[in-house]
Amino acid sequence: MAGKVYLVGAGPGDARLITLKGLDCLEKGDVIVYDRLANPSLLKRTKPGAEKIYVGKRTDRHTMKQEHINQLLVDLALEGKTVVRLKGGDPTIFGRVGEEAELLRKHGIPYEIVPGITAAISVPAYAGIPVTHRDMASSVSIITGHESPDKLDQSINWEKVTNATGTLVFMMGVANIGHISRQLIHYGRPPETPVALIRWGTRAEQETLIGTLADIERKVREADFKPPAVTVVGEVVSQREQLKWAESLPLFGKRILVTRSRSQASELVRGIEELGGEPYEFPVIDIVMPEGRELADTDEALAQLERYDWVFFTSVNGVEYFFSHLERLGKDVRGLHKARIAAVGPATQAALRQRGIAAEGLPGKFQAEGLMDTYGSELQPGQHVLLPRGDLARAWLPAALRERGLTVTDAVMYRTVPAGEADDELLKMLEKGRIHAVTFTSSSTVTNLLAALSAMGVVDPAAALRGTEIACIGPVTANTAKEAGLNVSILAEEATIDSLLQSLCAWKERSAPAE
């Protein structure tokens, strides 16, 4: 029985601009056939084991000819697979979807066309250029600019196109910008007509070049402006100075590697996106339940909640897994009726508050050392302390408590295990300097990223990261990074995601060229 093919528009580049239906298709596909303009982050949204086949095209090189792509979709579907053909932008706007769909229909293979947000409209919008405007342009034409000048002249009726609409949008026309400009001037557009070229719109590499029909070819040559780009011709280009918004965001133009576990990364990823940066997720750790003897020890520690005088939570994970264990054991927090509960850091405190516990917080820096500074005079010999922590937690705190004569139960609530599948796209971006900063939120993210890079064949992982800024959430993580040979240039003032984001913004501001 034949499978099904989904011809999906991936949007213009920003991974968040794919439609909900497109994402749904991506998550159920057995095979993803994708092109150059689809954001590689989208490939991380596929189901486990999904096959990925690259068929991207460039001006000077085609990985696979179109007729071979058409046949590939047929062959995969005839094997009974669910196939997602992932295309940049919208598949019906110069995406050759008609040819693919026609061959599928001839073979009786069911298919769906899933529209995407076209780059013709969205890329100018990200540059602050609306393609229509009440006072400037009431209509827009979308025109191919990709063919050779001779073919363009055969496919475009320049006399009619030049003045048919207020705004003209040429797709992939950088190489032919001189010919396009001359033809438009020849057929009636004033030489002073504004022109904008937007390269890699909606991505971290977004770059905009402004000129006129008279001088844009020279400016492209002088700037060595390369494709892929969208060209906008018309008075609407003048709106850019008032409406450009993406470039004003604090992290615009920066691609930031997020190494946290996928279950933890959402807050950091969302923060980077809201600040205009482009997060690239490569989780190098996973958080799991303890097993065997370790789990038995945890159960024993939680079987005697009423004996504890203190409970010190040092992380959000510690809070979440503590309550997961209580639920698994059929217990609740009332067993801690005599204990004082303290939290390291506002995020940990907030996680407890969500569970109905108003924990005592720490002033100043959010490290375990702060517990001793804050409660040192109240910690008495013979008191019992529960530390619900991970298996990689530092030994400093239980040792310091025991030195004061307290009885410490250091209970492992969760384990941190290595993650990180092979990611060729990440290696390419590191090699080409397209990862601008790497974030580390724990010592384990440092060691496991270096190990993951080594497993992918990188001979000197630390050297591979020297072209990027290294951002750490706290001094302990920073020390681990430095000991591994990394140059830590960004350090959060407080051990929180908000503080890490603020430090990234401050770095971006420092590195911005003077105007």
CB atoms within 10 A of CB 260: 24
3-state percent helix, strand, coil for the chain, nearest multiple of 5: 40, 20, 40
Token pair for 472: 């750490």
Distance between CA atoms of residues 110 and 104, nearest Å:
7
Return the sign of the alpha-carbon dihedral for residues 214, 217, 222, 226. positive
35 is known as an active-site residue: yes
Q: Is 451 exposed, middle or buried (0-12, 13-18, 19+ CB in 10 A)?
A: middle
Q: Which residues contact 134 (CB under 8 A, 6 or more apart)?
A: none
Q: What are phi and psi of 423, to 5 degrees?
A: -140, 95
413 is known as an active-site residue: no
Active-site residue identified among 14, 30, 35, 423:
35
Distance between CA atoms of residues 53 and 75, nearest Å:
13
Q: What amino acid occupies position 133? A: H
Active-site residue identified among 81, 90, 171, 172:
172
Q: What are phi and psi of 86, to 5 degrees?
A: -95, 115
57 is known as an active-site residue: yes
For residues 312 and 328, the answer to whether their CB atoms sit within 8 Å is: no
Active-site residue identified among 21, 44, 52, 57:
57
Distance of CA 16 to the CA centre of its chain: 9
Q: What is the DSSP string of 400-441?
A: HHHHTT-EEEEEEEEEEEE-----HHHHHHHHTT---EEEES
Distance of CA 242 to the CA centre of its chain: 28
CA nearest to 131, candidates 162, 168, 160: 168
For residues 37 and 90, the answer to whether their CB atoms sit within 8 Å is: no
Distance between CA atoms of residues 307 and 72, nearest Å:
66
Pairing between β-strand 31-34 and β-strand 82-87 as defined by DSSP bridges: parallel
For residues 466 and 460, the answer to whether their CB atoms sit within 8 Å is: no
Using the structure block, give the residue that is written with the tokens 């150059």: 36
Q: Is 346 exposed, middle or buried (0-12, 13-18, 19+ CB in 10 A)?
A: middle
**Active-site positions?**
35, 57, 172
